[in-house]
Structure 1
Amino acid sequence: MEKLTSLSHLFVTVFLSRFASFMVIPAITDVTMFALCPGQDECSLAIYLTGFQQAIIGLGTMVMMPVIGNLSDQYGRKAMLTLPMTVSIIPLAILAYSRTTSFFYAYYVIRTLTAMVGEISINCLALAYVADNIPEGQRASAFGILSGVGTGASFVCGTLATRFLSTTSTFRVATLFSMIAAVYMRVFLKESLRPDEDGLTQPIIKGGPDDNQNERADSPRKIWEFKNIPSVRDVTCLLKTSVTFSQAAVVSFFSSLADGGIQASLLYFLKAQFHFNKNQFADLMLILGVAGMVSQLLFMPFLAPIIGERKLLSIGLFAGCINMLVSSIAWATWVPYATTAFGVFAAFGAPSLRSIASKQVGPHEQGKAQGCISGISSLATIISPFIFSPLTALFLSDGAPFYYPGFSIMGIGLALMIAFIQSLMIRDAPSTSKSQNQYCIVAEA
């Protein structure tokens, strides 16, 4: 409990930042449709532009995340958090000022550029920060709590605020909270790494029976040593050295492929099929957010030590798969609301996967490991729009080869099924402190 208390400023920072970003999600579909196709419920241009933006952001984050993760190992998590949290303010401020077509395109371009640095890196650096401060045995629960705060509580509060605010007020409040998050982080958050005698950073893990974690840093363990900015060769070396890490990477790819499809397709499907608007999107997301928050803050800390993160990962992926398959054949407006019940279990997936990956590297490589997983996830988000955006536009149009408006949603469910099958192949692997010494020096000094 003392260790989790030490993360309180990180939790507040992540909450404020994610609160701002989640506030705009229910409103952005209507804003996009109004700017591009006013008065319509189906707009192929909006679907394709959203997918293209998602692909470009994915390309940028695939390149940037391993770099940012590695730099955070050298210069500290707090220092690297400053950039993404600052630049994320700009696109929100644009739509807070105006949402006309010209301002929407300005938002579109600037958000594409800033999201390459900011969209995933805040979560990646927060995960590395937790790994710096929490021993291996407690990381699954800690990651679950972080996810509950960052994608549960903030999601619920942000969506609830959007439900009762006008579109103009939504973007203004989001801009304000994004600024508060950056200031709070700079003032209150303490660096999780400290320099050693050679000027290199060291993780700070203190208190409790696992306090000897730092002492094991010099004992035989599995460690990947990157001398410079990680390249494709570095990532390949890491994947080859750890079977468990490579399996986690495959799961991450297909689950992120599905997540990208949800971002590119689901809201447009609901708007075209059931004429959902901002308020209905907010209601749906609110139910989903409450389910995820309860799961990650209450159930996961209790279940993780008992059944392990590997089984929780499989449960989460299976629940997500069933959710999408049922949603794809939704026959009434209440069906999307009912399927959010699966969110209680689907929320187990992401923190469990990150915990599995975290245990496959040494204490000095947490930023690199989380950056590599984020980079692989970003690769999936590049590919996803090229698959799901055309399918969504085609099957929502009058020229569909057969009547199945939710065909792209069914494809998302199949991607989650592949991830679920791969997760069943993951076997419990020894932690870094119990493994034999393996060095993967992939670049010259």
Structure 2
Amino acid sequence: MENWGRLSHLFVTVFLSNFSELMVSPAIPDVTLAAVCPGKDECSAAIYLTGFQQAIAGIGSVIMMPLIGNLSDAYGRKTMMTIPLVLAIIPLVVLAWKRTITFFYAYYAIKTFTAMVTQGGIMCLALAYLADNVSEGKRISAFGVLSGVTFAAYVGGTLAARLLSTAQIFQVAAVLSIVSAIYMGVFLKETTRENDALKQPILKVTESDEDSCKASKKIDVVRKIPSPQDIYRLLKSSITFSLAAFVAFFNSLAEAGLQACLLYFLKARFQFKKDQLADVLLIAYIGATISNMLLMPTLGPIIGEETLLSLGLFAGFLNMFFDSIAWAPWVPYASASMGVFLFLSSPNLRSIVSKQVGPNQQGLAQGCILGMTAFANVISPLIFSPLSALFLSEDAPFHFQGFSILCVGLAWLAGFFLSIMIPLLSRNKSSNEDCVVA
């Protein structure tokens, strides 16, 4: 792989940042319930709080992801990556200090606003950085390795959460988050591009010229903010890009619904605690690491990203279907093994998108797709949080505690049907263009 030394520093940065973020995930439901509904295994208020946080963070991300991606096209991936890495430290430090009710709500407020940038910002910039340094033919393998590194961090973080106490989890996560920001600042090399706005010729200028230059730079920064028309033109530029955006929407709709519902469902259905939740996540993330590090680089060039994308989306539907009808505590563990295929969706989607635009639009393209996923993160809690709270309560219209989980699976199924259309419509468009040329 080209520029392996440079990319290895990117992988370490992504690993550390995701490790610190994901090791707190199994502990958050317990901390939330302890603060909102002490002594209870199910609590509608906790579910609604989680959903509200996802929705507000998603609204901000819809704006911030295309903006960060577009600015990174001009001002550098490393420069922009500093922002989400530093912001990710703050909420972790709050819960590392104390986990009282006051500190929990302070964490909740800070996390809600910082997530607008951190939720997808690091991955957006990492994907664009990768596309800058890897040729198109090798991108599927590189994106698979990046995704595999991410899930390896999930495995390590989840395993750490399984072994550490709640207090130690947040302390270690805060330290690792700080280390990731420092490591990136010291070791990661900035991407060099000929049109880099940061690189200006050193010339002797008059005071009036200098003032004019400063004003020009301010205008240039404003112009880097993508308008809705820019995003609309990008979506119209390629039928493959448009379909990929819709698939990304449904995939993120399901992923956000899974995050909002599954852990609370397992606590209510089987009284799972932190350790059991961590075990379920651990199985899924180990499978995802294996598939992204091995299956995607080996099978991707042979059968194509589109096939692997469809396989991942259908595996997501099956996973949620079995979880929704789980009749024994071992069923969630068994269905979590489908993580081998489930988490193939996102990296293959990113690889497809990266091939639809030029080198100077990688940040905007990845930011646009992450903006679509952020929009799904806004809608998802509005759908799945009330559903989950209703069907886990005694006022459910019919007894089916896993109904919201099944609906999450249906979102993946919708994405699956759209993904099937990508190679078909792309092939038809190519055939029509060949006929016109002939």
- TM-score, normalised via structure 1 length: 0.89
Distance in structure 1 (CA, Å) of the matches to 2:187 and 2:270: 45
Residues 106-128 of structure 1 deviation map (CA, whole Å, 9 limit, x = unaligned): 00000011111111100000000
Query: What secondary structure does 1:425 align onto?
Result: helix
Indicate yes or no: 2:259 matched with 1:263.
Answer: yes
Contact 2:74 / 2:196 at 8 angstroms: preserved in 1? no
- TM-score, normalised via structure 2 length: 0.90
Match of 1:394 among 390, 393, 404: 390
Q: State the AA in 1 paired with 2:337.
A: A
Match of 2:281 among 285, 294, 305: 285
Indicate yes or no: 2:166 matched with 1:175.
Answer: no
The alpha-carbon deviation at position 233 of structure 1 amounts to 1.3
Give the match for residue 127 of structure 2. Answer: 127
Contact 1:262 / 1:412 at 8 angstroms: preserved in 2? yes
Work out the number of aligned pairs and report it.
408
Q: State the AA in 2 paired with 1:399.
A: D
Give the match for residue 382 of structure 1. Answer: 378
Q: State the AA in 2 paired with 1:46.
A: A
The alpha-carbon deviation at position 298 of structure 1 amounts to 1.1
Residues 325-357 of structure 1 deviation map (CA, whole Å, 9 limit, x = unaligned): 111100110000000121101121100000111
Distance in structure 1 (CA, Å) of the matches to 2:408 and 2:226: 31
Residues 177-227 of structure 1 deviation map (CA, whole Å, 9 limit, x = unaligned): 0000000000000011334498679xxxxxxxxxxxxxxxxxxxxxxxx96
Indicate yes or no: 2:346 matched with 1:350.
Answer: yes
- Summarize the Cα distance change of 1:169–1:329 in structure 2 as closer, same or farther, 3 Å threshold: same
Contact 1:258 / 1:413 at 8 angstroms: preserved in 2? yes
Give the match for residue 305 of structure 1. Answer: 301
Give the match for residue 113 of structure 2. Answer: 113
Distance in structure 2 (CA, Å) of the matches to 1:306 and 1:197: 36
- Summarize the Cα distance change of 1:390–1:197 in structure 2 as closer, same or farther, 3 Å threshold: closer
Q: Unaligned regions of 5+ residues in structure 1, if any? A: 202-225, 435-445
Q: State the AA in 2 paired with 1:353.
A: L
Indicate yes or no: 2:334 matched with 1:366.
Answer: no
The alpha-carbon deviation at position 2 of structure 1 amounts to 4.2
The correspondence of residues 143-292 of structure 1 with structure 2, limited to 5 A, is: 143-150=143-150, 152-196=151-195, 228-292=224-288
The alpha-carbon deviation at position 234 of structure 1 amounts to 1.1
The alpha-carbon deviation at position 270 of structure 1 amounts to 0.4
Q: Which of the two has higher C-alpha Rg?
A: 2
The alpha-carbon deviation at position 299 of structure 1 amounts to 1.2
Distance in structure 1 (CA, Å) of the matches to 2:154 and 2:348: 19
Distance in structure 2 (CA, Å) of the matches to 1:355 and 1:118: 21
Residues 215-255 of structure 1 deviation map (CA, whole Å, 9 limit, x = unaligned): xxxxxxxxxxx963111111111111211000000100111
Query: What secondary structure does 2:357 align onto?
Result: coil
Distance in structure 1 (CA, Å) of the matches to 2:401 and 2:426: 46
Contact 1:74 / 1:200 at 8 angstroms: preserved in 2? no
Contact 1:310 / 1:428 at 8 angstroms: preserved in 2? no
- Summarize the Cα distance change of 1:200–1:312 in structure 2 as closer, same or farther, 3 Å threshold: farther
Q: State the AA in 1 paired with 2:158.
A: T
